[in-house]
Amino acid sequence: MIWEKPRRMGLLRTFWWLLAGPIVVLLAVAMWAWPHLAITRTTGAKVLVVEGWMDATAMREAARLIADSGYTRIYTTGSVRPFAYLLGKGQGIGVDFNDPLSGTLLMEAVGLPGSGLCLVAGSDTILNEQVTAEMVLFKAAMPRTEHLRLLVYGGVAGPAPGVFVRSLPSTG
């Protein structure tokens, strides 16, 4: 009994040292790395580097920064994000082109029974099909347009994904 308290105190002291060691190391690394992370001040170069996967709002902000700041070069980093979406009933995708496009549109899609998709180019419905449990390559003649809308209907009620669209390339 006499040795119980000092032994427990020794274990407790060892525990705190084992806990404090990694915390001190992490703080030291963070303090060393902090000045090198997320630099938001300019370096004087006329080069802007942006992440390619940023959302539309951040991209518009980057575009305003480019226009207002006189950059001469823009580099986009990050991996290529393929056109792939899981969509539920009532959900859709809008695609805007910089210049009007026309030609043959190819779209790969698969979905739950009863689900369908509708593809609208400008104001013309160019594809209205039911999806199947196997991946299907849909083809549609796309008139000259600057905007595509893909809408999902039918299938499972609620936000559960009913259609998976794997690609939407145009051959035009």
In the chain (172 residues long), the average pLDDT of successive 10-residue segments reads 63 83 87 73 78 75 81 74 78 87 88 89 92 90 90 72 75 50
Q: Return the pLDDT at 126.
A: 93
pLDDT of residue 81: 61
| Domain termination site, one of 52, 77, 102 | 77
CB 130 within 8 A of CB 83: no
**Integer angstrom CA distances of residue 117 from 98, 108, 133, 141, 160:** 24, 11, 14, 16, 15
Whether the model clears a pTM of 0.75, i.e. scores above it, the answer is: no
pLDDT of residue 125: 93
Judgement on whether residues 52 and 123 belong to the same structural domain of the protein: no
Q: Which domain holds residue 120?
A: 85-167
Q: Which of 79, 137, 92, 83 is nearest to 118 (CA)?
A: 92
In a domain, 28, yes or no: yes
CA terminus-to-terminus distance, the chain: 87
CB 142 within 8 A of CB 103: yes
Q: Give yes or no: residues 73 and 102 share one domain.
A: no
